[in-house]
Amino acid sequence: MFIQQHGFIGTWETTGTTKEIFEGIPAGIPYTQTSNDRLTEQGTEMQLSHRMQTADGEIISKGGGSVSWNKNSGQIEGLFAGFDTGKPYSGKMTLAGIDAESGTERWTYQETSRGKTQNYNIDIKQTDANHRKESITLKTTGNTIPSELHR
């Protein structure tokens, strides 16, 4: 119900330039990212997917996963997998909390790609019905990719 009321569901788009943050994605590549967020028919799980590509159609990253309540851990968690520049990655995201004043979701994310595991912080804030801001920060370096998504 919360997800439906706050408009997280839908297709979102952003543009940007890659930074040195994800293993296997070189910095400096202009891209367009399309993300699809869907609620399952049962309403108990979010299915998320993304596709990052260059203006000439080269796919930089694509993948997907699901987010749901894990009764064993007592947390909201997501599992993801995909390909960055043609090589596989997998990751796990856990909701760390929601800032009561700003409504910002705070997530931790751990990703393994090309034999290397890295940890990230992800912040997501819905600014209005058709816009949201996201930032992904690599914990070891502090490198951040800020995004403004729209639909």
Question: How many other C-beta atoms are found inside a 10 Å radius of the C-beta of residue 82?
Answer: 20
Q: Tens digits of per-residue pLDDT, 23-69?
A: 999 999 999 999 999 999 888 899 999 999 999 999 999 999 999 99
**% residues pLDDT > 70 (the chain):** 95
Question: Where does the pLDDT of residue 123 fall: very low under 50, low under 70, confident under 90, or very high at 90 and above?
Answer: very high
**142: buried, middle or exposed (CB in 10 Å: 19+, 13-18, 0-12)?**
exposed
Closest among 99, 149, 94 to 127, alpha carbons compared: 149
Residue 108's H or E segment, with its range, is strand 105-113
Q: Tens digits of per-residue pLDDT, 70-115?
A: 999 999 999 999 999 999 999 999 999 999 898 899 999 999 999 9
Q: What is the model's pTM?
A: 0.91
Rounded to a whole number, what is the largest CA-CA distance in the chain?
45
Q: Tens digits of per-residue pLDDT, 6-22?
A: 467 899 999 999 999 99
